[in-house]
Structure 1
Amino acid sequence: MLTVSCCVTNAAPEHTVSREVQSTLAADFPHMTRDTYQSIVGVHYSVGKKIGEGSFGVIFDGMNMLNHLPVAIKFEPRKTEAPQLRDEYRAYKTLRGSLGIPNVYYFGQEGLHLILVIDLLGPSLEDLFDWCGRKFSLKTTVMVAKQMLSRVQTIHERSLIYRDIKPDNFLIGRQGTATENLVYVVDFGMAKQYRDPVTMQHIPYRERKSLSGTARYMSINTHLGREQSRRDDLEALGHVFMYFLRGGLPWQGLKAQNNKQKYERIGEKKRSTRAQDLCAGFPPQFAEYMNCVRNMRFDEEPDYDYLRDLMTDALKSVDEKEDGEYDWMLLNDHKGYNSTNKKPNLHGYGHPNPPNRTHHTQRRAKPAGQPEKPKNTVPPAAPVSQQQSYQDSNHYQSVSAVQSQNARTAPKLQHPTQTLDPVPTPVEDAPHKPATDPSPEQQNREQQKAQSSARKGCFSCCA
């Protein structure tokens, strides 16, 4: 779901929506307004308020009119340049029933759009990290790390590698629900099979591969152009853990004349930073984790239990216990984060008010190579796409459910609902466009296409 991403501030940005998307949405849903939409899709899903958008996509909250449960509804034009919703559906079908994986309820065609209906979730770990002052305590980091390890293990056990580990792609449940502190993983646009699910034959080792992932967290081997496997997901997780503990990573903020040189500098800095130095000042188990995953063979099966035990031992070493109390639960005088007055943000879910405290903002990644987007001056209504903004579509914040009375009286679509045939469970490995620095002659063309390179070969830089 990702060209190379430079960074933007944490402020909720405005997104520019293509004229093509505006026209197709207007054709399908002529009665819809900018922020409030009343329609029925997928036979019995009412479409509510817009909770996020991107260059080629939009996401709404909604309700299952049969059981009145809240859902998230993603829209994607059928003729988008970089389609991803079908691949997203395939991944969810592969992983269905797994803990920490959103349920998918419907995938089908509505007029000129494909739609996907999934669980409505809460904020991302990146946002929680920001609201907590851009540092997590050791206890919160350990409890989150063990959940993240379990989610990645689940993905690996289904013969997939994730390939875009970042805090933005891990969400918690909606506030006030039984799963409000359960970590979910979303945004499977970069997922790939690393072995045949029947024969369990591992893919061969290759080099000179195009970059895929997010520069800040990706593994050293990924920077070197080596085929990714399970070890690379785990190394990227280790970088996320240290990001939480340190409040940043040594290779953030590096400068270069162009993006290609910047990515090379990030990779060089990672290679020159020893695990002991990266993890200095924290329990030695974190350095042990980093050394373990960096020394794994390409096709080696990880010992997930051992890695989780390292996290447990790290917390025991400072005489703390896993009591289920996360840092974000202590905000606002132990009331937790404030989920009122939401506003669509970079990730595509409602943005709760930040806690009652002063905190600095830090640059956040947007799809690499993408120009700064001007403030939106036209009514945005677009289906979810773009890696950063479709990760958007996978990051949801709890929003007010559509009133059942409104849902029943909402005007129906002019187009008949058409459910697509089920797609194969395995996620096929589509070729990815290399993330390279465009030549001067290609600059204008690359900028125009940057918004649509949301998934294939995408690579984000959040240095």
Structure 2
Amino acid sequence: MPYMKKTSGKRAPAKRKLAEEFAVGEILADTTKKEWKLGVSIGQGGFGRLYLADVNSSKSVGSDAPYVVKVEPSQNGPLFTELKFYMRAAKPDEIQKWTKSHKLKYLGVPRYWGSGLHEKSGNSYRFMIMDRFGRDLQRIYEENAKRFAHKTVLQLGLRILDILEYIHEHEYVHGDIKASNLLLSYKNPNQVYLVDYGLAYRYCPEGVHKVYKEDPKRCHDGTIEYTSIDAHKGVAPSRRGDLEILGYCMIHWLSGHLPWEDNLKDPNFVKDSKIRCRDNISDLMDKCFPGKNKPDEIAKYMEKVKLLSYEEKPVYQHFREILLQGLKAIGQRDDGVLDFGLSENGDLQAKPMQKKKRKTAAATDESTEAEMEDVGSPQKKKPTSSNLKFGSEICLQEEKSIILHWLRFLQGTLTFFKIKQWLPKHGG
């Protein structure tokens, strides 16, 4: 779900230039002089474009390219903001070192492979190279009747806690955790990555935590459904805010409901509702899980978040243990498998045959709806998507299979009615 615009007397954003389209095969040289070759454009949104890419060679960039490049006019701000995070905290060696020292199978932070400036037609463009990713969880969530299985939610929570601990230790908070900012690995669907660091905030520069200060000009920053109470009050993001946002996400993924979801156009209502729910977590659970077996571990998680002070460093392992206990309570374990096709009791769910249209909401000042393009046929436009994420894969085969299914169904229906009309005329 897109980030919601603020309506309170804020100045209109500065006008930004749109990025022109680069030709397939164009070469970009990063700050280390390493060259990257562009493939087809796979998306555009806001003021940037997204391309498949690979290290420069005599070969053309194929549809299986392992990298993507995001390109924006250099005077624009969004990519520059993200770059500061990636250059400080997402270098491959640093991520590998952390993963090994913490005995993790992987860490869901996108790796930064390079960046630079590129001149074309008298204009300057900033670019960044990232890993290519697969589908976002929001699309999968909507295709699964807006529910994830209990086990899947808890395992997602564990992986996201790993990510948050890493970025927090590198002096940043994310501030916008949500399903559309969580992408599956391009090659391994059991790995999930947190992307989009446009709202990432350096909460503790040089080891000194920002002080708690409410700023009316910054009220309600983030995605309105999930943003923290601190953000609603205009306070700079902190570690407890990220953990609070994750809590709201887990509740939404598991129950399909948040108490304030029908009043998202009224940020103050949402803020007050979250404050009431924080003060009475059992009431929050009753509203989200009426007449159901309530997930005790989620309530315990939210209670623990509630106790954190603004500048306090969370004990991440305590939060992991709560979610691990939840897995044990439902007879499951953290096996690393993200199965989005399983129901609560482990049976296979019947997946909807027709994809629902994604809801349109107000976007940020920095982004508009993205036009996603067919990787194999760059001239053919696909339906628009509300998110332009690094490496987000376009699932053409799935869409084709859905269309074929319905064509066969319609063909069979027409045949049935023809037979029904023929029988009375021939003594049937």
TM-score (norm 1): 0.65
Of 241-250 and 218-227, more deviation after overlay is shown by 218-227
Query: In 1, are the aligned partners of 2:182 and 2:195 still within 8 Å (CA)?
Result: yes
Q: Which amino acid aligns with 2:285?
A: C
Q: 1:319: Cα distance to partner?
A: 1.7
1:278 is matched with 284
Q: 1:293: Cα distance to partner?
A: 0.6
Counting helix residues as a fraction of each chain, which structure ranks higher?
2
Q: In 1, Cα distance between the equivalents of 2:141 and 2:200? A: 25
1:203 is matched with 210
Deviations 1:350-408 (A, max 9, x none): xxxx96634655525441579997999xxx99xxxxxx97x6233511789xxxxxxxx
2:98 is matched with none
3-state SS in 1 of match to 2:388:
helix
Q: In 2, Cα distance between the equivalents of 1:270 and 1:368? A: 22
Deviations 1:163-201 (A, max 9, x none): 112221121201xx2x4321211111211122133xx22
1:254 is matched with 263
TM-score (norm 2): 0.70
**Count of aligned pairs between the two proteins:** 336
Q: In 1, Cα distance between the equivalents of 2:185 and 2:306? A: 31
Q: In 2, Cα distance between the equivalents of 1:38 and 1:205? A: 49
Q: In 2, Cα distance between the equivalents of 1:214 and 1:159? A: 22
3-state SS in 1 of match to 2:261:
coil
Q: In 1, Cα distance between the equivalents of 2:52 and 2:368? A: 27
Of 67-76 and 267-276, more deviation after overlay is shown by 67-76
**Unaligned runs of at least 5 residues, structure 2:** 7-14, 96-106, 287-292, 373-377, 380-384, 397-428
Query: In 1, are the aligned partners of 2:50 and 2:390 still within 8 Å (CA)?
Result: no
1:424 is matched with none
User: Structure 2 matches for 1:330-409, cutoff 5 A?
Assistant: 357-358=353-354, 360-361=356-357, 363-368=359-364, 392-394=388-390, 396-397=392-393
Q: In 1, Cα distance between the equivalents of 2:88 and 2:365? A: 31
Q: 1:41: Cα distance to partner?
A: 2.0
Query: In 1, are the aligned partners of 2:152 and 2:340 still within 8 Å (CA)?
Result: no
Deviations 1:214-251 (A, max 9, x none): 11001122212333311011000100000100112111
Query: In 2, are the aligned partners of 1:136 and 1:244 still within 8 Å (CA)?
Result: yes
Q: Which amino acid aligns with 2:211?
A: P
**Larger CA Rg, structure 1 vs 2:** 2
Instruction: Decide whether aligned partners of structure 1 residues 364 and 308 sit closer, same or farther in structure 2, where only a CA change above 3 A counts.
Output: farther
* The one of 274, 281, 289 aligned to 2:301: 289
Q: Which amino acid aligns with 2:18?
A: V
Q: Which amino acid aligns with 1:216?
A: E
Higher relative contact order (CA 8 A, sep 6+): 1
Q: In 1, Cα distance between the equivalents of 2:125 and 2:366? A: 24
* The one of 201, 206, 228 aligned to 1:192: 201
Q: Which amino acid aligns with 2:270?
A: I
Q: In 2, Cα distance between the equivalents of 1:145 and 1:162? A: 15
**Unaligned runs of at least 5 residues, structure 1:** 7-17, 337-353, 382-387, 401-463
3-state SS in 2 of match to 1:49:
strand
Q: In 1, Cα distance between the equivalents of 2:109 and 2:365? A: 30
Query: In 2, are the aligned partners of 1:64 and 1:70 still within 8 Å (CA)?
Result: no
Q: Is 1:51 aligned to residue 55 of structure 2?
A: no
3-state SS in 2 of match to 1:393:
coil
1:151 is matched with 163
Query: In 1, are the aligned partners of 2:67 and 2:391 still within 8 Å (CA)?
Result: no
Q: Which amino acid aligns with 1:322?
A: D
Q: Which amino acid aligns with 1:279?
A: M
Q: In 1, Cα distance between the equivalents of 2:140 and 2:3? A: 26
* The one of 68, 90, 94 aligned to 2:88: 94
2:251 is matched with 242
3-state SS in 1 of match to 2:80:
helix
Q: 1:5: Cα distance to partner?
A: 4.0
Query: In 2, are the aligned partners of 1:5 and 1:367 still within 8 Å (CA)?
Result: yes
1:75 is matched with 71
Q: 1:65: Cα distance to partner?
A: 3.3
Query: In 1, are the aligned partners of 2:178 and 2:226 still within 8 Å (CA)?
Result: yes
Query: In 2, are the aligned partners of 1:45 and 1:64 still within 8 Å (CA)?
Result: yes
Deviations 1:123-157 (A, max 9, x none): 12212212222100100001111001110111101
Q: Which amino acid aligns with 1:4?
A: M
* The one of 177, 185, 191 aligned to 1:165: 177
* The one of 15, 28, 32 aligned to 1:41: 28
3-state SS in 2 of match to 1:123:
strand
2:409 is matched with none
2:236 is matched with 227
Query: In 1, are the aligned partners of 2:190 and 2:337 still within 8 Å (CA)?
Result: no
1:105 is matched with 113
Instruction: Decide whether aligned partners of structure 1 residues 84 and 372 sit closer, same or farther in structure 2, where only a CA change above 3 A counts.
Output: closer
Q: In 2, Cα distance between the equivalents of 1:322 and 1:370? A: 38
Q: Which amino acid aligns with 1:91?
A: F
3-state SS in 2 of match to 1:328:
coil
3-state SS in 2 of match to 1:21:
coil
Q: In 2, Cα distance between the equivalents of 1:47 and 1:329? A: 35
Structure 1 segments of 4+ aligned residues over 6 angstroms from their partners:
369-376
1:4 is matched with 4
Instruction: Decide whether aligned partners of structure 1 residues 269 and 226 sit closer, same or farther in structure 2, where only a CA change above 3 A counts.
Output: same
* The one of 262, 265, 268 aligned to 2:269: 265
Query: In 1, are the aligned partners of 2:45 and 2:367 still within 8 Å (CA)?
Result: no
Q: Which amino acid aligns with 2:274?
A: K
Q: Is 1:183 aligned to residue 177 of structure 2?
A: no
Q: In 2, Cα distance between the equivalents of 1:393 and 1:161? A: 19
Q: 1:272: Cα distance to partner?
A: 2.5
Q: In 2, Cα distance between the equivalents of 1:372 and 1:93? A: 26
Q: 1:84: Cα distance to partner?
A: 2.4
2:426 is matched with none
Instruction: Decide whether aligned partners of structure 1 residues 327 and 88 sit closer, same or farther in structure 2, where only a CA change above 3 A counts.
Output: same
Query: In 2, are the aligned partners of 1:242 and 1:278 still within 8 Å (CA)?
Result: no
Query: In 2, are the aligned partners of 1:283 and 1:317 still within 8 Å (CA)?
Result: no
